[in-house]
Amino acid sequence: MKHLAIMGFKKTGKTFLATKIIEDLVGNGYRVAAVKHIHHEFTIDTEGKDTWRMARSGASIVTSISPNEMAIIFPRQMHDTNIDDFLGKIFREHGIDVVVYEGFAKLYGRSPHVYKILTVRKSEDIGLIEEISPPVVAVFRLENTSLPEKGVPVYGPELSLDFFNHVRRSLGLVK
């Protein structure tokens, strides 16, 4: 299983790029999982609804299943659980080839096991590259911004087949 994190500051095209990479990988026959980092407090649960009431009654895990999706809610922080191990087990059981993370610069920015793409809008955004460790696959610029040379291929704002081929080759998915 390969891990690719799209990292950058707010409004630099992380979600746009993640969705385009996911579309390309799925279109080429790979099974992809997506993990989104949300910086602020967030819940998919709604106060007063059944799942909310079940969580408040003490359930450790609440699962809601509808005809179009399933959600698993962990009402308490998982302090005793390693998130990577937990998600890894689920992803392996579902035959995931690539996990695409959106964000997580602090968690995965120094990991040698996670491939990274840095997104930038302004030339000063490229400074984030100094805070992340290889492997850095590419820099994606949301606009035609002039960037200082950092020894990493720069793509964007239009995404070409060359970009997607480069990402797949960098991940070791194709030769």
Question: Which sequence spans correspond to the domains of the chain?
Answer: 2-40+83-170
Which residue, chain included where needed, has tokens 């009431």? Answer: 53
* Contact assessment for residue 123 and residue 12, using Cβ atoms and an 8 Å cutoff: no
Q: What are phi and psi of 172, to 5 degrees?
A: 80, 20
CA distance 121 to 47: 38
pLDDT at 169: 96
> Token pair of 88, please?
């890894």
Q: Which of 12-21, 43-52, 90-99, 108-117 has the lowest mean pLDDT?
A: 43-52
Tens-digit pLDDT profile for residues 131-148: 899 999 999 998 887 888
Tens-digit pLDDT profile for residues 107-126: 888 899 999 999 999 888 88
CATH class, 2-40+83-170 region: alpha beta
**Exposure string over 87-111, b if 16+ CB within 10 A, otherwise e:** eeeebeeeebbbbbbbbbbeebbeb
Which run of H or E residues covers position 25?
A: helix 14-27
Tens-digit pLDDT profile for residues 20-45: 999 999 999 999 999 876 654 555 66
Residue type (1 letter), 157: P
Where in 24-142 does DSSP place strands (E)?
A: 32-36, 62-65, 70-73, 98-102, 115-120, 136-141
> Token pair of 57, please?
């009654």
pLDDT at 41: 55
User: How many alpha carbons fall within 13 Å on the CB side of residue 31?
Assistant: 9
Tens-digit pLDDT profile for residues 68-94: 887 777 766 554 556 777 777 888 888
* Contact assessment for residue 4 and residue 98, using Cβ atoms and an 8 Å cutoff: yes
- What average pLDDT does the segment 157-169 reach? 94
- Fill in the DSSP letter of residue 17: H
pLDDT at 40: 46
Which residue, chain included where needed, has tokens 């890894």? Answer: 88
pLDDT at residue 19 is higher than 90: yes
Q: How confident is the prediction for the chain on average, in pLDDT?
A: 86
